[in-house]
Structure 1
Amino acid sequence: MFLYILKRILQMIPLLIGITFLSFIIIQLAPGDYLDKLRMNPQISQETLEKLKQAYGLDQPLIVQYFKWLLNALKFDLGYSFSYHVPVIEIIKERVGNTLFLSITSAILAWSLAIPLGIIAAVKPNTIIDRFIQLFSFTFMSIPNFFLAFLMLFLAVKTGILPTGGATSPDYDQMSIWGKILDRLWHVSLPAFVLAIGSLAGLVRLVRSTMLESLQSEYVMFARAKGLPEKQVILKHALKNSLNPFITLLGFEIASLLSGAALVEIIVNWPGMGMLMLDAVLSQDLYLVMGGLYIGAIMLIIGNLIADILLAKIDPRIRQREVEGVLK
């Protein structure tokens, strides 16, 4: 298992370098830079602009700029923000927790609903319940997250049931610990519901299809022939042997949740990485954009690493195959 994890971690390094290098080049290829706004101010001299350019390292070739940034980024020194005039890591610290909280909450909600709904649909195929669940899946798979976010935001504004902005209430600091937890959950409910519904629709179909395949397999028929209770057959045999596709999908789910969260955050005014990255791109704040992409890439890679480890833990054949590959 150690060799398997080590191999996966080593594979993360060139992937992270490739993601950040391509992002850096694409951002730099965009016309103009942050200093163009300052050049329009007649009170700022050319000499001051040149000093700023040297201070931020913008006077050096792109490759030199990138590798200097990368060496600092490995130490989590992500440079200074042009717009905020503070270290990028300090700005990201304030926002990344909100994005992670939103993504994790929506993932827990989606998976906790998808598994039982998928099992029910598979156990009762072609019934009214199964068709209703499939109708639900197809309906919400066809609705984009951003459109659903607009609808939910409209309903929240009209009804006043759910908050429409911010991560906490004004009196958050005066609340008890349980009050703070409930307040955070209340504020995250709207964006988390939007993200969860989008993931839930696809997950239900996957659970249903894999469970149907497992329920028709020989080992399930043998378990039933032994006289085992149906609940034990479904949960212990069929579901357990259907977990591999779900674990494989976990890494992709993390990626889709983080990318989908950015757009939903902007629409519902959730103070996460999405709004921060939008402002950074619009203001051409190079190091803030790169810092956000860097942290986002690390989270996605770690998510896929967790999925690989869980998959190897469940299926020993994967561990053995990977170890044999390392030893060769």
Structure 2
Amino acid sequence: MTGYLVRRVGQMGLTLFLIITLTFFLVEAQPGDYASFYVLNPDLPPDVKEKIRAAFGLDKPLWQQYLIHLKNTFTGNFGVSFGHFPRPVMDVLAERIPRTLVLFLTATAASFYLGFFLGKAIAWRRGGLFEYVATISGATLFTAFTPAFALMMIWIFAFRLDWFPLWGNSCIGGLALDILKHMVLPVATLTLISFAGTMLLTRNSMLETIREDYVMAARAKGLPERQVRDRHAARNAMLPVVTSLVYSLIFAIDGSVIIEGVFSWPGTGMTLLSAVRSEDLPLVMGAMLFIGCCRCWLT
């Protein structure tokens, strides 16, 4: 166990190092630099522009900037956001991360529950119309193009039916009911496009479990079918399904930019998108590092 833990920590450390390195060089590869936000004024003398660049350490060679970046990252110093948020990057992320976690943890829990419920139902009554409808519907939604499907949900339920608000920005500092109203559509979208994986995995696991002797013994005792299904077959079929729950969290966090961007949900994904548009490089690096660290930790 000790050896496994050492190897696991080493793998996580190496992955984190690669994420930091790739993020740094990808950001540095694009036109402009940190000082561009301050030197756009054409009236600034050249010597003032050079002093601004020197104040940010941009007059140093790239390898020195990289070492400084590593040091600042491992000490938790991500700098100051230069875009719409004239605040430290850590303060901006600390405000946005809980919103992302609430949204995607809720959607993942709803998707898991729906997929597990449907999976055990279609496995117990295999071959019926319900199985074909659930399987085809789940597979169709799973292969749907996420941005188009999200826009369709907004058009139907927010624009045409006017059941939910069109935009998500008002949930900043809003009341609990207002936040819940803005969460319904993104949570529903994430649930509908991702429940099929849990459903099919539960179905396959249930089909193996119902052939076991203890399930036949429970039926021979005369127990109700629902009790045999839920207490004997479904509970033992949950192990691979619960394991897949962790991986579903990874893909949920990876898709935060798309969902939060479409629904204007003020989380880390929306923050990253806004930072890229405004060339807010420190905030881009901080948001990408958070998403990469989450993926590294969950895997």
| Shared fold per TM-score greater than 0.5 | yes
> How many angstroms apart in 1 are the aligned matches of 2:246 and 2:46?
49
**Which of 159, 162, 165 is matched with 1:160 structurally?**
162
Conserved in 2, the CA contact under 8 Å of 1:145 and 1:260? Answer: no
After superposition, the Cα gap between the structure-2 partners of 1:167 and 1:188, relative to the gap in structure 1 and judged at 3 Å, is: farther
For residues 211-242 of structure 1, give each alpha carbon's deviation from its aligned partner in whole angstroms, at most 9, with x where no partner exists: 22222345544554566654444334433333
> How many angstroms apart in 1 are the aligned matches of 2:26 and 2:164?
39
AA of the residue aligned to 2:105: I
Structure 1 residue 40: Cα displacement: 4.9
User: What corresponds to 1:186 in structure 2?
Assistant: 181
After superposition, the Cα gap between the structure-2 partners of 1:55 and 1:237, relative to the gap in structure 1 and judged at 3 Å, is: farther
Name whichever of 8-17 and 284-293 sits farther off.
8-17
> How many angstroms apart in 1 are the aligned matches of 2:210 and 2:183?
37
Conserved in 2, the CA contact under 8 Å of 1:69 and 1:79? Answer: no
Matched, 1:87 2:82: no
> How many angstroms apart in 1 are the aligned matches of 2:231 and 2:120?
13
Corresponding residue SS for 1:163: coil
When normalised by structure 1's length, the TM-score is 0.80
State how 1:195-214 maps to structure 2 within 5 Å. Answer: 195-214=190-209
After superposition, the Cα gap between the structure-2 partners of 1:223 and 1:10, relative to the gap in structure 1 and judged at 3 Å, is: farther
Corresponding residue SS for 2:153: helix
AA of the residue aligned to 2:159: V
User: What corresponds to 1:291 in structure 2?
Assistant: 286
After superposition, the Cα gap between the structure-2 partners of 1:237 and 1:87, relative to the gap in structure 1 and judged at 3 Å, is: same
Conserved in 1, the CA contact under 8 Å of 2:172 and 2:266? Answer: no
User: What corresponds to 1:102 in structure 2?
Assistant: 103
AA of the residue aligned to 1:102: L
State how 1:1-328 maps to structure 2 within 5 Å. Answer: 8-36=8-36, 40-83=40-83, 84-155=85-156, 156-166=158-168, 168=170, 172=174, 180-218=175-213, 220-221=215-216, 224=219, 230-304=225-299
Structure 1 residue 161: Cα displacement: 0.7
AA of the residue aligned to 2:91: E
After superposition, the Cα gap between the structure-2 partners of 1:302 and 1:68, relative to the gap in structure 1 and judged at 3 Å, is: same
> How many angstroms apart in 2 are the aligned matches of 1:290 and 1:171?
26
> How many angstroms apart in 2 are the aligned matches of 1:250 and 1:68?
38
> How many angstroms apart in 1 are the aligned matches of 2:215 and 2:113?
24
For residues 54-92 of structure 1, give each alpha carbon's deviation from its aligned partner in whole angstroms, at most 9, with x where no partner exists: 222222333332332222222322111222332111111
Structure 1 residue 25: Cα displacement: 1.3
Conserved in 1, the CA contact under 8 Å of 2:112 and 2:245? Answer: no
Structure 1 residue 102: Cα displacement: 0.9
AA of the residue aligned to 2:115: A
Conserved in 1, the CA contact under 8 Å of 2:23 and 2:289? Answer: no
> How many angstroms apart in 2 are the aligned matches of 1:191 and 1:250?
19
Conserved in 2, the CA contact under 8 Å of 1:167 and 1:271? Answer: yes
Name whichever of 128-137 and 208-217 sits farther off.
208-217
Q: Which runs of 5+ in 2 are unaligned?
A: none
Structure 1 residue 158: Cα displacement: 2.1
> How many angstroms apart in 2 are the aligned matches of 1:48 and 1:246?
60
Corresponding residue SS for 1:32: coil
Conserved in 2, the CA contact under 8 Å of 1:81 and 1:285? Answer: yes
When normalised by structure 2's length, the TM-score is 0.88
User: What corresponds to 1:308 in structure 2?
Assistant: none
Conserved in 1, the CA contact under 8 Å of 2:107 and 2:190? Answer: yes
For residues 251-270 of structure 1, give each alpha carbon's deviation from its aligned partner in whole angstroms, at most 9, with x where no partner exists: 32112111222111111111
Q: Which runs of 5+ in 1 are unaligned?
A: 173-179, 305-328
Q: Percent identity?
A: 33
Structure 1 residue 299: Cα displacement: 2.3
Name whichever of 225-234 and 290-299 sits farther off.
225-234
After superposition, the Cα gap between the structure-2 partners of 1:6 and 1:244, relative to the gap in structure 1 and judged at 3 Å, is: farther
Name whichever of 90-99 and 118-127 sits farther off.
90-99
Conserved in 1, the CA contact under 8 Å of 2:35 and 2:56? Answer: no
